[in-house]
Every structure is written in C-alpha cells, then in structure tokens.
Structure 1
Amino acid sequence: MAPMVVALILVPPPSLSLHPSQRVSLGDNVTLCCHLPQPAAWVRLYRYKNTTYIEQKDKEERMAEFSLAGIKPQDAVRYQCQYQGLEPPGTSK
C-alpha cells in the first residue's frame, strides 16, 4: 500500500478596515471593508467571537463592504470577517 500524502494549504487571512477610520461618533454611518487575499464565494461579517454572522456578501473579488448605519454604543465592539473561496476558508484577526 502506498503512503498517504496530506497537503496543507495555508491561505493568508483577510484583513478588516473601518471607513471613515477616524472620529466615529454615535449616529454616524460607517463601512467595514474586508480585504480578501483571493476571490471568495462568500464573505461574512461577525461580531468578534460570535458564531452568528451579521451579514453575508456573495461572489466578492478582492473586497467586501459592510455598512453599519446610525452607530449605537452597542456597536462599539470588535468585528471579524470570514470568507470561503476556492481554497480553505480564512478568518481575519
């Protein structure tokens, strides 16, 4: 019997940025941009360490934008994005 070969493919994680990036006040509208290392079948935005996603965008190329309108105090938390491409999924930090 031939030995089994397992290949691990490391995919760079996506990154997340906030626009506008400075002086966000209560009531403002902001956009979270998930920058992807490769085209994705879907991209999801999560509150950090929450298993339920807030929103999903399908068939994104290099960036997915998620809009948050009328920022409230409970929105001032950490977020992360996750994507599924042709390769294994990656998660932002």
Structure 2
Amino acid sequence: MVLALILVPRPSLSLLPSQGVSLGDSVTLRCHLPQTAAWIQLWFNGTLRSDKEKDEEHNTVEFSLVVTNLEDAGTYQCRYQVSEPLWTSSMSDPVELVVTGAIPCECGCGGGEGLRCCIRLLPGPLLCARCPQLLDAERCPPRNA
C-alpha cells in the first residue's frame, strides 16, 4: 500500500476594518486563496458559520457581516476545499474580531438598591450608577414589599 502525502497550502484571512468595531458596523472577512478552490468555508470560534462557492476568476472570497450583537466578537478562520481530487486545506491563522464602544445594558430593581442604570464599555467593565430617587419611587416596588 502506497500513501501519497498532498501538501495543501493554507489560506490567509484578513479583517476589514482591522481595528475594533462597534455594534451596527459592517465587517468584511477576506479569505486569500493560494490556489483554485471549489468551496470556501468561514469558521467562527471553531464552528462553521458560512460557506461559498468560489468564483474561478478571483483568488479571494469575501464574507460580509453586520455586527449586531456582542456574540459576533471572537475568532474567525477560513479554509477551502477542492473537488478533484477531493481534499480540504488546513485552517488559516485566526483573526480576532473585537467589538468596542459603549452599549446600554438592562436596568432593573434589585438588592434593595432601587433602579440601577448601566453601560458596558467594550472592551472593559460594566459601569452602574444608582438612578435618581424619583425614578426609584416610580419604577421600583417599596423595599419592604
């Protein structure tokens, strides 16, 4: 029995913009292919997120997304498949999508502290402040209830 080892060049992945993005921003992940491929896959945190059939005339494939929630932040990679002979490349080096900025968090009553309003600084901590007494009385039940 003879085994043939096929060395498959890895693709590379770039992220545009390359800096942190805010919620609502558009992001393009560009997979650069070292050779002709039939299918290109985009992986997110180790799970297949999307795949595309490649246009034969280009050596890059773009995946676009709008950052709609914090869960879009994470590690992205791509790989490609060739149909004849059938084989799959290794994953590209990972790129990290970082979501930045400030987003509002839930406000609520709790712990006898009245209504608390919070923002999350990304990346960074959750900052909370007690709301004015008037809002506490209007929104939260009496503390002894």
TM-score by length of 2: 0.55
Q: Which has the larger radius of gyration?
A: 2
SS at match of 1:54: strand
Structure 1: 5+ residue stretches without partners: none
The answer on 1:40 being equivalent to 2:64 is no
Distance 2:27 2:68 in 1: 8
Query: Which residue among 65, 79, 87 is the counterpart of 2:76?
Result: 79
What runs of 5+ residues in structure 2 fail to find an aligned partner? Answer: 94-145
How many residues align structurally? 88
Q: Alpha carbon RMSD of aligned pairs, Å?
A: 1.7
Match among 13, 23, 27 for residue 24 of structure 2: 27
User: Between the two proteins, what is the percent identity of the paired residues?
Assistant: 53
1:36-66, Cα deviation, whole Å (9 max, x unpaired): 111110101111222xx22211024411100
Distance 1:25 1:45, change over 3 A: same
Kindly state the Cα deviation for residue 71 of structure 1 after the two structures are TM-superposed: 4.1
Show the counterpart of 2:54: 59
SS at match of 1:40: coil
Q: Is the 8 A contact 1:44 1:57 kept in 2?
A: yes
Would the aligned equivalents of 2:14 and 2:29 in 1 still touch at CA under 8 Å? Answer: yes
* TM norm structure 1: 0.81
Instruction: List 4+ stretches of structure 1 deviating above 4 A.
Output: none
**Structure with bigger RCO (C-alpha 8 Å, 6+ apart):** 1
Does the 8 Å CA contact 2:23/2:67 hold for their aligned counterparts? yes
Distance 1:74 1:11 in 2: 32
Structure 1, 72-81 or 21-30: larger mean CA deviation: 21-30
